Amino acid sequence: SSARANGARATTLCAPRGRDARRAGPGRRRERRGRDARRWNDARGFARGARGDDEDEDDEEADDASGSFDESAPRDWAGKVRWMPVMDVRRETEESPTLAEGELVMPMFPLGSHVYLPDTEHVLNIFEPRYRSMYNEILFNGSRRFVVPMCAPNEPGKFASVAAVFYLDDLKEVSEQTNDQVKFVCSHTVIERVRVVRSLNDRVWGDRSSFLKVVTEKFEDCDLDDDFTNKETALEERFRALIDMQEKVDEPIRFTKDVELAAPISAKRGKMGFWRLVNLWQSLLQSRVTHRENELQAGIQKMLRKFLEDSGVDLSDGRQLQLSFESIPTDIRAEIQRMNEQYGEERVELLNSAIYPFQYLVQMDSHAERLDYFGELVSEEEKRLAAKNTLRAMFESTE
């Protein structure tokens, strides 16, 4: 890895005239509506498949007729992402690229499969020479910005084509303090999204001699002039109700009442609005992945502790013991293997649900569509919590 990310991600542990008023946007925006509506409908396939409940009758009939919806089939998470062509190290480098109007060459810094959201802040420790050079360049030319795409998990050289733009707010030279292990500690804000038109120097992805450069164009919403007050207010109310619902069922990983202390719950455009809610949601799902991993490790350790105590080993002094897998009885080894296999399948879905929906949101160019899609994610959580509450009530009634 070329950089390590520090903190700076939010932690959650712990219309006018009575309707949304819509005005016709510029011609270019109108032309993109039909195309992006189709992409949005594709992305909605994730939420429909996850819910497993009834859609409206027209949608059900369309699915039945086309045969395109199969609840038993694995979910095609990556298929809904708009990807750049995979890096091809044999491609000729474009030394002096021809740019269309509105296009801009920017450095690209892949930082893993995490999806970086607009209006969020991030700190990176920079230690790899090629990225030290990148920071020197963006400081020298005054741009102070670079592209950070989502990387396809387990597919090196494959990046999402709609990506975040990091703006360098502050840089500290720390090579002396770290014995040159880390060169810079850099603070950034995600200021906008861009669409990557093409890459210019795929070759360096192979030999790591320098950093990637890409041609980009600004990626803006097609409904900037439209008012979605009703949609925004409805989502805000549901989000607040969800916080209460999570507390009621005693979710181990949930939002707390402190969420509103930093800023009011808002689904509006702008800083501390919609993207803050998405960031909170992203942190919630990532925390659940970690919690589930900790549960698995705790279960295995409990089983091994019992085995050691039954074998007469005194663990009261808190000392740590090392065991080889071969020294563990066959039945315990089989149970550990079963637990790992079961969690492995569950972990894939947990990780996917903490990655791909956020890229879907980033690549949507309509605030209205993002509100609708995020509403579907909230619906998923509402139904999950309702089912959990029903089960708990059933168990309590039998006691």
Could you read off the pLDDT of 379-398 as tens digits, one per residue?
999 999 999 888 887 877 76
Q: Please give the pLDDT value at position 316.
A: 77
Binning pLDDT at 50, 70 and 90, where does residue 12 land? very low
Report whether 358 contacts 77 (CB < 8 A). no
Q: Please give the pLDDT value at position 305.
A: 86
**Which percentage of the chain shows pLDDT scores above 90?**
59
Q: Mean pLDDT across the stretch 149-169? A: 96
Write out the two tokens for 3. Answer: 């950089």
Report whether 170 contacts 94 (CB < 8 A). no
Distance CA 229, CA 325 (A): 59
Q: Please give the pLDDT value at position 325.
A: 82
Q: Please give the pLDDT value at position 18.
A: 34
More confident residue, 13 or 99: 99
> Which of 44-53, 189-198, 342-351 has maximum average pLDDT?
189-198
Q: Please give the pLDDT value at position 64.
A: 36
Q: Mean pLDDT across the stretch 263-272? A: 93
Q: Mean pLDDT across the stretch 45-65? A: 36
Q: Please give the pLDDT value at position 73.
A: 57
More confident residue, 340 or 134: 134
Neighbours of 341 (CB within 10 A): 10
Report whether 230 contacts 20 (CB < 8 A). yes
Q: 135 CB contacts (<8 Å, ≥6 apart)?
A: 126, 168, 171, 184, 186
**Which percentage of the chain shows pLDDT scores above 70?**
81
Side-chain half-sphere of 173: how many Cα atoms within 13 Å? 3
Side-chain half-sphere of 125: how many Cα atoms within 13 Å? 12
Binning pLDDT at 50, 70 and 90, where does residue 66 land? very low
Averaged pLDDT score across all residues of the chain: 83
Buried b or exposed e, range 221-234, using 16+ CB within 10 angstroms: bbbeebbbeebbee
Torsions phi, psi for 3 (to 5 deg): -155, 155
Q: Mean pLDDT across the stretch 188-206? A: 97
Nearest 5°: the CA angle 333, 339, 343 is: 145
DSSP class per residue in 238-276: HHHHHHHHHHHTT-SS---TTHHHHS----SSSTTSHHH
Binning pLDDT at 50, 70 and 90, where does residue 29 land? very low
- What's the pLDDT tens digit per position in 314-325? 777 777 777 788
Q: Mean pLDDT across the stretch 29-50? A: 42
Binning pLDDT at 50, 70 and 90, where does residue 2 land? low
Q: Please give the pLDDT value at position 177.
A: 93
Distance CA 292, CA 343 (A): 8
Binning pLDDT at 50, 70 and 90, where does residue 306 land? confident
Write out the two tokens for 387. Answer: 């089912």
- What's the pLDDT tens digit per position in 354-382? 999 999 999 999 999 999 999 999 999 99
pLDDT score of 93 more than 70: yes
pTM attached to this predicted model: 0.79
Q: Please give the pLDDT value at position 4.
A: 57
Identity of the amino acid at 165: V
